[in-house]
Amino acid sequence: MCRLFAVTSQEPQSPMMAIQALDVMREGHDGSGVGLFLSDLGGPFEEFKGAPVLSGIFSNAGLKRLDQFMMNIGFMTKYKLSIKVPKGAPPSGAPRRDIYLIRAYEYPEEWESLSEADIRHRLLMIRLQLRQMGEEEGDMIVFSFWPDVVMIKEIGDPMSVAEYLQLDRRELYARIIMAQGRQNTNYAINLYACHPFFIQGVASMTNGENTAFIPIREFLESRGFPGYMGYQSDSEVFTHILHYTIYRLGLGIEAYKHIITPLQDPDLEKHPNGAFLKQVKHSCRRLIIDGPNCVIGCLPDKSVFMVQDRKKLRPGVVGGKPGLYAFSSEICGLDAAIPDRDKSKDFQPMHLDTAVIGPQRREVTLWSQTDSLPLLH
Amino acid sequence: MVTNGFIAPSSLSVKDLPWQVHWSRDRCTLCGRCTAVCPVHAIELAVFRKRAVQPVLGLKEPPSSLFQVFYGIRQKTDPAYACIGCAMCTMVCPNEAIIPVRSDEADKLRYHVNRGGQPRRRGGRRNMPDGVLDRIKFTRISMLTDPALDAGRHEFELRTLLGRILPPEDSLQLLKDEGWIPPVREIYPLIIGGMSFGALSPNMWEGLQMGVAYLNEELGMPVRMCTGEGGCPPRLLRSRFLKYVILQIASGYFGWDEIIHALPEMKEDPCAVEIKYGQGAKPGDGGLLMWYKVNQLIAAIRGVPSGVSLPSPPTHQTMYSIEEAVAKMIQSMSMAWGFRVPVYPKISGTSTALAVLNNLTRNPYAAGLAIDGEDGGTGAAYNVSLDHMGHPIASNLRDCYLNLVKLGKQNELPLFAGGGIGKRGNLAANAAALIMLGASGVQIGKYIMQAAAGCVGSESDRCNVCNIGICPKGITSQDPRLYRRLDPELVAERVVDVFLAFDTEFKKIVAPLGRSTSLPIGMSDALGVDDRNIAERLQIRYVV
Residues of B in contact with A248 (CB under 8 A): 168-169
Q: Hey, is the C-beta of A286 within 8 angstroms of any chain B C-beta?
A: yes
Residues B182-237 have pLDDT tens digits of 999 999 999 999 999 999 999 999 999 999 999 999 999 999 999 999 999 999 99
Overall CATH class of domain B2-118? alpha beta
b/e B154-186 (16+ beta carbons within 10 angstroms → b): bebebbbbbbbbbbbeebbebbeeeeebbbbbb
Same domain, residue pair A159 and A106: no
- DSSP states of A60-98 as a string? HHHHHHHHHHHHHTT-EEEEEEEEEPPSSPPPTTPPP-S
CA distance B171 to A120: 25
Q: Beta strand A33-41 with A304-308: parallel, antiparallel or unpaired? A: unpaired
Residues A32 and A131 in one domain: no
- In DSSP notation, B63-113 reads -EEEEEEEEEEEE---GGG------HHHHH-TT--EEEEE-SS--SGGGT-
Number of Cβ within a 10 Å radius of residue B78: 14
- Percent pLDDT > 70 in chain A is 97
CA distance B51 to A221: 85
Q: Give A244's DSSP letter.
A: I
Q: Which amino acid is at A354?
A: T
Is B466 known as a binding-site position?
Answer: no
Q: How far is CA B344 from CA A369, B11, B248, B397, B414, in A?
A: 34, 50, 10, 16, 10
Query: Has residue B381 got a pLDDT over 90?
Result: yes
Interchain CB distance below 8 Å, B516 and A310: yes
Mean pLDDT over B402-422 rounds to 94
Query: Is there a domain that residue A375 lies in?
Result: no
pLDDT digits (tens, 9 = 90+) for A208-255: 888 899 999 999 999 999 999 999 888 999 999 999 999 999 999 999
Determine whether the interchain pair B515/A290 forms a contact, defined as Cβ–Cβ distance below 8 Å. Answer: yes
- In this structure, how many other beta carbons lie within 10 angstroms of the beta carbon of residue A68? 9
Q: A260 in contact with B at a CB cutoff of 8 Å?
A: no
Q: What is the pLDDT of residues A289-305, one digit of tens each?
A: 987 889 999 999 999 99
Cβ-Cβ contacts under 8 Å for A9 (sequence gap 6 or more): A175, A176, A323, A324, A325, A361
Q: Is residue A206 included in any domain, yes or no?
A: yes
Please report the DSSP string for A176-214 in residue order.
Answer: EEEEEES---SSS--GGGSSPEEETTEEEEEEE--TTHH
- Residue A55 forms part of a structural domain: yes
Last residue of a domain, one of A104, A124, A147: A147
Nearest to B438 by CA among B136, B169, B143: B136
**Is the pLDDT confidence value at B401 over 60?**
yes
β-partners of residue A296 are: A205, A306
Q: Does B150 touch chain A (CB under 8 A)?
A: no
Nearest to B147 among A265, A285, A313 (CB): A313
Q: Does residue A355 sit in the same domain as residue A216?
A: yes
Cβ(B81)–Cβ(B35) below 8 Å:
no
Q: Determine the Cα–Cα distance for residues A131 and A230; give it in Å rounded to an integer.
A: 10
Q: Does B161 touch chain A (CB under 8 A)?
A: yes
Looking at the complex, does the CB of residue B245 fall below 8 Å from at least one CB of chain A?
A: no
Mean pLDDT of B239-257: 95
3-state DSSP assignment of residue B150: coil
Whether A127 and A177 map to the same domain: the answer is no
Q: Are B276 and B250 in contact (CB under 8 A)?
A: yes
CATH 3.20.20.70, domain B133-542, yes or no: yes
b/e burial code for range A299-328 (CB count within 10 A of at least 16 → b): beebbbbbbbbbbbbbbbbbbbeeebbbbb
How far is B275 from B412, CA to CA, in rounded Å?
19
- At A334, give phi and psi (nearest 5°): -70, -40
Contact across the interface for A211 and B184, Cβ inside 8 Å: no
B144 Cα to chain A: minimum distance (Å): 6
The reply to whether omega before B147 is within 30° of 0 (cis) is yes
A266 at B interface, C-beta within 8 A: no
In this prediction, residue B99 has a pLDDT band, given cuts at 50, 70 and 90, of very high
Q: Which whole number is the average pLDDT over A366-372? A: 94
Do A103 and A34 sit in the same domain of this protein? no
* CATH number of the domain bearing residue A62: 3.30.70
Domain boundary among A97, A127, A147: A147
B449 contacts chain A (CB < 8 A):
no
- The alpha carbon of residue B454 and the mean position of all alpha carbons in its chain are separated, in whole angstroms, by 13
Are the C-beta atoms of residues A149 and A55 closer than 8 Å to each other?
yes
* pLDDT mean over B290-296: 93
Are residues A25 and A101 located together in one domain of the fold?
no
Cβ atoms of residues B236 and B245 within 8 Å: yes
CB B80 within 8 A of CB B115: yes
Q: Compute the average pLDDT of residues A139-149.
A: 95
- The gap between the terminal CA atoms of chain A, to the nearest Å, is 40
Spatial distance between the Cα atoms of B451 and B444, rounded to a whole number of angstroms: 11
**Same domain for A109 and A172?**
no
Interface with chain A: mutation pick from B154, B165, B517, B538, highest number of A CBs within 10 Å: B517
CATH fold match for the domains B2-118 and B133-542? no
Query: Same domain for A157 and A84?
Result: no
On whether both A162 and A250 belong to a single domain, the answer is yes
pLDDT of residue A175: 97
Mutate to test the interface with A, among B144, B178, B437 (most CBs of A within 10 A): B144
For chain A, the helix, strand and coil percentages under 3-state DSSP, each to the nearest 5: 35, 30, 35
CB A80 within 8 A of CB A98: no
Q: Is B83 annotated as a binding residue?
A: yes
* Containing structural domain, residue A82: 50-147
State percent of chain B over pLDDT 70.
98
| Contact check, Cβ <8 Å, A310/B517 | yes
Asked whether residue A377 is domain-assigned, the answer is no
Domain ranges within chain B, ordered by starting residue: 2-118, 133-542
The helix/strand/coil state of A136 is helix
Show residues of chain A in contact with B516, CB under 8 Å.
290, 310-311
Whether B287 contacts B294, CB under 8 Å: no
pTM above 0.90, yes or no: yes
Q: Which of residues A127, A147, A167 is at a domain's end?
A: A147
Query: According to the annotation, is B86 in a ligand binding site?
Result: yes
Residue among A136, A150, A36 at smallest CA distance from A103: A150
For B522, the closest of A214, A251, A284 (CB atoms) is A214
Closest chain B residue to the Cα of A376, Cα to Cα? B176
pLDDT score of A84 more than 50: yes
The pLDDT confidence band at residue A377, using thresholds 50, 70 and 90, is very low
Is the CB of B516 inside 8 Å of chain A's CB atoms?
yes
Domain total of chain A: 2
Indicate if A355 and A213 belong to the same structural domain: yes
Cis peptide before A374 (omega within 30 of 0): no
> DSSP state, A264?
P
Give the pLDDT score at B335: 95
Tell me whether residue A73 is in a domain.
yes
pLDDT, average across residues A27-52: 89
* Residue count (chain B): 544
Q: Which helix (H) or strand (E) holds A175?
A: strand A174-181
Task: Please check whether residue A234 is in contact with residue A209, taking contact to mean a CB–CB distance below 8 angstroms.
Answer: yes
Residue B154 predicted with pLDDT over 50: yes
Q: How many CB atoms lie within 10 A of CB A183?
A: 26
- Give CA–CA dist B463/B453, Å, rounded: 14
Q: Alpha-carbon distance B100 to B332, whole Å?
A: 52
Residues A254 and A153 in one domain: yes
Tell me if B520 and A215 make a contact (CB, 8 A cut-off).
Answer: yes
For residue B436, pLDDT beyond 70: yes
Partner B contacted by A114 (CB < 8 A): no
Contacts of B522 in chain A (CB under 8 A): 214-215, 218
Asked whether residue B145 carries a pLDDT value surpassing 60, the answer given is no
Contact B518 A209 (CB under 8 A): no
Alpha helix ranges (H) inside B471-519: 480-483, 488-510
Backbone dihedral angles phi then psi of residue B457, each to the nearest 5 degrees: -60, 150
**Pairs across A and B, CB distance < 8 A:** 106
List, as one string, the DSSP characters of B164-194.
Answer: ----HHHHHHHHHHT------EEE-SEEE--
pLDDT band at B493 (very low <50, low <70, confident <90, very high): very high
Q: What is the ipTM score, two decimals?
A: 0.91
Q: What's the pLDDT at A186?
A: 58
Cβ(B71)–Cβ(B134) below 8 Å: no
Choose among A244, A264, A286: nearest Cβ to B411. A286
Contact yes or no for B518 and A288 at CB 8 A? yes
At A174-201, the pLDDT tens digits run 999 999 987 655 566 778 888 999 999 9
- Round to the nearest angstrom and report the end-to-end CA distance of chain B: 64
Provide the pairing of β-strand B343-348 with B272-276: parallel
**Beta strands A364-368 and A353-357, pairing class:** antiparallel
Do A315 and A358 reside in the same domain of the chain?
A: yes
Please tell me which residue of chain A has the smallest CA distance to B512: A211
Residue B28 marked in a binding site: no
Residue B336 CA: distances (Å) to CA of B248, B263, B345, B410, B486: 14, 8, 16, 28, 36
**Mean of all residue pLDDT scores within chain B:** 93
d(CA B415, CA B160): 11
Mean per-residue pLDDT for B93-103? 97
CATH code where residue A173 lies: 3.60.20.10
Give the integer Cα–Cα distance in Å for B427 and A33: 43
> Residue range B71-76: average pLDDT?
95
